[in-house]
Amino acid sequence: LVLVTVVLLIAIPAGFLVQQAFRSRESGRDKERAAGATSLVYARPPKVSQRIYDVPVPEQATRIAFYETNAWERSRMWVQFRTSPKRLKEFLRDIDGDSGTLTLDKGRVTIGEGQARKVGWRFDEPGHRYAGTVYTQSGHEPDLAITVDTTYKSRPRVFVVSTAQF
């Protein structure tokens, strides 16, 4: 009976604490890797970054990568992912607050060459079709340049550069 009590009161909580310590350690390594990145990190951006930069990456998105830079007057986050046409529409609706006014213009690339080059994106590949839009917000809310590679209609590839001015 004493042995069972010791196990229940000491060993199980101690095991839980050790498990949490390892999780915390891994989380710190992930954050360190993202902060020290010099190009795209192939992972889902942290939820807090998605909120700050207004880039709600769909849960079912695949091939997700992001890169973030922070400066005194301007911060940017580059995000890319693949999704379905339905999720793409939901993504655009989530950005503009369900107003439905955010639409993609066929043939339009809205991400500048310099911004694209920073993370290795190329929008001049032969045979690829693009559509894009710019979502400008007031005040300190970030502006978004969105370009979508629509070459593969069932899995469009989304590219976003979100710029926050301070």
- The residue among 91, 147, 154, 84 whose CA lies nearest residue 119 is 147
- What pLDDT, in 10s, does the model give residues 110-121? 999 999 999 999
- When pLDDT is averaged across residues 151-164 and rounded to a whole number, the result is 96
The whole-model pTM stands at 0.78
pLDDT attached to residue 118: 95
Strand partners, 75: 70, 164
DSSP string, 8-70: IIIIHHHHHHHHHHHHHHHHHHHHHHHHT-SS-BSSPPPHHHHHHTT----TT-EEEEEEEEE
d(CA 132, CA 83): 15
